[in-house]
């Protein structure tokens, strides 16, 4: 199984540069120039099975990549939606504390007393911090910062969320 490192967004400029939504906390090493990255794209899209990083830069907080195989904006447009991936085994060796969305989705969410409050339905990666997306037992979607103080335990079958009082009620009020 592959782990998604980033998802390619829209082209930027005329020379094949693309925006990417990062799904890794180590973009500097994962996308170093010269690195060959595997791709996952829609069948028949014509996207190469691997791309070689030509350059990386951050523009207004957005990561931009160019690839040796993609010379212009037309080629970059064809990459939209492509996932940049790596084999899961390669990530386990150099990860000490990280979690991937596919590791978390479906886990039961419990409060510190052990009561089920919902299920993890996603992981949103942010510039400052990541957020767990939780579907509460009443169907409401809530978001909590994925930090040790609020999510002190991540086990094989559940996570413990020690949410500040009233946090989940804010999402319930917004959904009415």
- State the alpha helices, DSSP H only, in 112-161: none
Would you put residue 18 in left (φ > 0), alpha (ψ -120 to 50) or beta?
beta
Residue 48 CB partners (closer than 8 Å, separation 6+)? 39, 69
Cβ-proximal residues to 136 (8 Å cutoff; 6+ apart), any chain: 117, 118, 142, 168, 171, 172
Higher pLDDT residue, 169 or 97? 169
Dump pLDDT digits (tens) for 114-166. Answer: 999 999 999 887 666 788 999 999 999 999 988 888 999 999 899 999 998 88
pLDDT in tens, 7-30: 999 999 999 999 999 888 788 888
Structure confidence at residue 93 (pLDDT) = 43
Sheet of strand 131-136: strand arrangement: 141-145, 131-136, 116-124, 108-110, 158-160, 153-154
Query: What's residue 124's pLDDT?
Result: 85
Query: What token pair was written down for 133?
Result: 């997306």
pLDDT tens digits for 33-92?
A: 999 999 998 888 889 999 999 999 999 889 999 999 999 999 999 999 999 988 765 544
- Whether 175 has a pLDDT exceeding 80, the answer reads no
HSE toward the beta carbon, residue 74, CA cutoff 13 A: 0
Check residue 127 and give its pLDDT.
62
What is the pTM assigned to this prediction?
A: 0.52
């Amino acid at each position: 199984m592959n782990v998604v490192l980033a998802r390619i967004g829209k082209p930027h400029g005329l020379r094949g540069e693309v925006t990417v939504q990062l799904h890794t906390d180590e973009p500097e090493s994962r996308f170093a120039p010269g690195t060959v990255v595997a791709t996952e794209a829609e069948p028949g899209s014509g996207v190469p099975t691997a791309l070689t990083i030509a350059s990386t830069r951050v523009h207004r907080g957005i990561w931009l990549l160019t690839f040796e195989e993609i010379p212009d904006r037309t080629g970059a447009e064809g990459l939209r939606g492509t996932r940049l991936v790596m084999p899961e085994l390669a990530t386990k060796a150099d990860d000490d504390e990280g979690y991937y969305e596919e590791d978390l989705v479906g886990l039961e969410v419990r409060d510190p007393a052990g009561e089920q409050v919902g299920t993890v339905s996603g992981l949103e990666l942010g510039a400052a911090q990541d957020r767990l997306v939780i579907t509460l037992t009443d169907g409401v979607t809530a978001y909590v910062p994925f930090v040790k103080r609020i999510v002190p335990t991540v086990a094989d079958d559940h996570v413990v969320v020690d949410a500040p009082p009233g946090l989940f009620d804010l999402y319930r009020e917004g959904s009415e």
